[in-house]
Structure 1
Amino acid sequence: MAKDDYFVIVYQLLKLLYENLKQGKQITSQEFNDLCINLNQSYWDFIVLNMSRDGYISGVVEIKTLTGIAPKIQDVMITPKGIEYLFSNSMMERVKNTLKDLKSIVPGM
């Protein structure tokens, strides 16, 4: 799977949000923005909006723009449904295993 694959990005965002939740921290705007580096804006918006609509994250407000709908992020957090998806979805398990394999092959990942 490519690092810009939909499921890889979803996994990385959910994992980051879950880790922050367990530590009692809020995701910073820098951490959030780092996830979308090298993605086009409409693809990132699609991912964030659908994660919110599917109930995996909260804190996303849909804003109407001239070009459509864009997400506005306000204290984004993982939901219990997002935690369940992170740990029980077979695609998330495949992404996790793929990323583990990459980390063992590529130093510094």
Structure 2
Amino acid sequence: MAKNDYYVLVYRVLMYLYNCLKNGEDVDVSKLTPQWLGINERYFEYIFNTLDEEGFILNAAYIEDYAGKHLQNNIMISPKGSSYLHENSTIQKVKKSIKGISDIVGNINLL
């Protein structure tokens, strides 16, 4: 799968949120940007809106103010999102198919 494939991106985001939760760390929204994921703004918003609508993250993904739409720094992976990482067959294929995973997801502890 390509590193900008939807499921690869979902995996990266959810694993980042999962590891933040597990390690008691705050989410660094500067790491959750279109640039960090290597995608355009529209695709980025689509991914986070979908994660929000599917219930894979807690708290609304975005807040909107006079300066525009911003990803909130208090987002967390939900229990449903954690289950998705562990049980979804497509995500399991992503984990198995990615070569050189550290090049794609960075320094992340895999499940």
TM-score range, shorter-chain basis? 0.7 to 0.9
Give secondary structure in 1 for the equivalent of 2:85.
helix
Structure 2 letter corresponding to 1:27: V
Structure 1, unpaired ranges of 5+: 65-69
Aligned CA distance change for structure 1 residues 98 and 71 (closer, same or farther; 3 Å): farther
Structure 2, unpaired ranges of 5+: 104-111
More helix by share: 1
**Does the aligned pair in 1 maintain the 2:9–2:37 contact within 8 Å?**
no
Greater RCO structure (CA 8 Å; 6+ sep): 2
Paired position in structure 2 for 1:90: 89
State the identity %: 30
More strand by share: 1
Paired position in structure 1 for 2:40: 40
1:2-24 per-residue CA deviation (whole Å, 9 max, x = no partner) reads 10000000001111111111100
Query: How many positions carry a matched residue from both structures?
Result: 99
Q: Distance in 1 between matches of 2:30 and 2:48?
A: 16
Paired position in structure 2 for 1:61: 62
Aligned CA distance change for structure 1 residues 34 and 28 (closer, same or farther; 3 Å): farther
Give secondary structure in 1 for the equivalent of 2:13.
helix
TM-score (norm 1): 0.79
Q: Distance in 1 between matches of 2:27 and 2:13?
A: 10
Instruction: State yes or no: 1:103 paired with 2:104.
Output: no
When Rg is computed on C-alpha atoms for both structures, the one with the higher figure is 1
Q: Distance in 1 between matches of 2:53 and 2:75?
A: 13
Shift of 1:53: 0.6
Shift of 1:31: 1.7
